Amino acid sequence: MKFKSYNNLSFKKTDYYNRLPPKEKEAFDILSTVFHFKTNNYVLEKLIDWKNVETDSIYRLIFPRKEMLNPADYEQLTLMHKAGISMESLGPFIETIRKKMSPKLKYPEKSIPKLNGLKLQGAWQNFGTIINLYPDPMVKTCHAYCSYCFRWIMFKNTEVQNSNSYSDPNTPVEYIRSHPEITDVLFTGADPLVIKADKIKEYIDPILAIDSVKVIRISTKSLGWWPYRFTTDSDADELLSLFEYIISKGKHLNICAHVTHVKELENEIVQKAIKRIQATGAIIRCQGPIVKGINDTAEDWINLWNKQIQLGLIPYYMFVEAEHNSENCFRIPLAKGLNIFQTAQKQATGLARTVRGPVFMNDHHRILIDGVITIQNEKFFVLKSLQAPPNTKGEGSLKLIPYDENTKDPGDLVALFSEDYEKELTY
Ligand code: SF4
């Protein structure tokens, strides 16, 4: 299959658009002008169940939904749409809505490494042993966009892309060399594997020469959105040779596969892609968020983990959905997420016992909701720091926060796990 990409305008010219129920069509017309929409022929032809779009997980994973906008903005846009005003002509108004909804990072300054007192552009480091790198071409796009993506604000925004990436492959080398405690380098994006294999190699090569780096990680959703990346793309063989080359340099290569739903793993094409990656010696570990209306039942996760194990993939993390925007419409209550995780883990193959979750991914600590405890008739969530920045409470430390069946917000986790956190729980 040859890659064919669709944006909000070109999708409207397809038969698939005409097959949408009227309400879905209207929501698409309105929302796809605010949120960047991108899909491709594989997703449309092989993954979405067009007879059941309102309940189909993959459709919901790609197409924007009404709850993503605050009700007043949605109503205003609907009125304009019904009045026949072209959504594309509302540029400044749409921009205002986008700005209002941009995901907010609480402590971005703490995560940007410094070299000789200057910020290391295109790098992000929360933990002592791993650094995330954002080479310029890798931050630009993905094979398709997920509706819940918290990076959506970067798409088509060259200003944000340029200020958060680097283009000289040697940029991070001196910093990493001067920090021998960094064992893992994660290439991330958008999706790093959208770009050509020879370009990817240019960015990885200087890192391979650093002895203290033992692990190269590549974060991608290509298996889900475009498995032909590893089979019939013109440089698919070159990409797999690059994987072998990385391993031949004595590094462990970890493909961090973003997998949300078992449907992404069910067809022959993706299974062939998986086998080809595995034949290089790379290990595929799977992670994905638990998301309202897409994979929020225990059955979803039992099916997902069982399929991953069957295919030789390693279930790694179930994340708490990172805040997409101020509406927070994808996150489910923490108690419900924990219950789904625990129920699914009991019923899935025993080899899924190593998967961790639900885990917060957008704070400085990697924090696990490890359970619920009752002390003197009061219930608490037990939180555990799986990874922590060097200057804060160590990994493995536990904290309690009051249990609330409906809450989606654990409060400020950075403050909670910091050295000087003095607040005592009273019970
Ligand atoms: S693949 Fe990742 S970066 Fe790309 S849209 Fe999905 S969540 Fe966002």
Query: Would you state the structure tokens that stand for residue 74, as one six-digit string?
Result: 């949605």
**What is the reported pTM?**
0.94
Q: Where is the domain boundary, 310, 335, 359?
A: 359
Answer yes or no: do 67 and 122 share one domain. Answer: no
Residue 364 has a pLDDT of 76
pLDDT in tens, 206-247: 999 999 999 999 999 999 999 999 999 999 999 999 999 999
- With 0-12 / 13-18 / 19 or more C-beta atoms within 10 angstroms meaning exposed / middle / buried, residue 287 is buried
Assess if residue 421 is contained within a domain.
Answer: no
Answer yes or no: do 86 and 182 share one domain. Answer: no
Answer yes or no: do 176 and 53 share one domain. Answer: no
pLDDT in tens, 281-337: 999 999 999 999 999 999 999 999 999 999 999 999 999 998 777 667 899 999 999
Residue 231 has a pLDDT of 98
Query: Would you state the structure tokens that stand for residue 62, as one six-digit string?
Result: 């790609």
Assess if residue 199 is contained within a domain.
Answer: yes
Q: How far does CA 111 lie from the centroid of its chain? A: 18
Please check whether residue 146 is in contact with residue 260, taking contact to mean a CB–CB distance below 8 angstroms.
yes
Q: Where is the domain boundary, 305, 336, 359?
A: 359
Q: Where is the domain boundary, 101, 120, 140?
A: 101
Answer yes or no: do 266 and 210 share one domain. Answer: yes
pLDDT in tens, 74-87: 999 999 988 988 87
**Is any atom of ligand 1 closer than 6 Å to the C-beta of 185?**
no
DSSP secondary structure, 1-27, as one string: ----EE-HHHHTTSHHHHHS-HHHHHH
Count structural domains, the chain: 2
Domain span at residue 274 reads: 108-359
Answer yes or no: do 127 and 68 share one domain. Answer: no
Closest residue CA from atom 1 of ligand 1:
221
Please check whether residue 333 is in contact with residue 408, taking contact to mean a CB–CB distance below 8 angstroms.
yes
At CB < 8 A and 24+ separation, what contacts does 294-298 make? 294/57, 294/60, 294/61, 294/148, 294/260, 294/261, 294/330, 295/57, 295/260, 295/261, 296/332, 296/336, 296/337, 296/340, 297/340, 298/339, 298/340, 298/343, 298/344, 298/347
Assess if residue 146 is contained within a domain.
Answer: yes
Assess if residue 312 is contained within a domain.
Answer: yes
Mutate to test the pocket of ligand 1, among 40, 134, 146 (most ligand atoms within 8 A of CB): 146
Assess if residue 281 is contained within a domain.
Answer: yes
Chain length of the chain: 427
Report the separation in Å between the CA atom of 93 and the middle of ligand 1, taken as the mean of its atom positions: 25
Answer yes or no: do 28 and 160 share one domain. Answer: no
pLDDT band for position 155 (50/70/90)? confident
Assess if residue 293 is contained within a domain.
Answer: yes
Atom of ligand 1 nearest to the CA of 144: 5
Answer yes or no: do 176 and 204 share one domain. Answer: yes
Report the separation in Å between the CA atom of 262 and the middle of ligand 1, taken as the mean of its atom positions: 17
Please check whether residue 216 is in contact with residue 187, taking contact to mean a CB–CB distance below 8 angstroms.
yes
For 59, the 3-state DSSP assignment is: helix
Query: Would you state the structure tokens that stand for residue 204, as one six-digit string?
Result: 């990885």
Answer yes or no: do 68 and 112 share one domain. Answer: no
pLDDT band for position 419 (50/70/90)? low
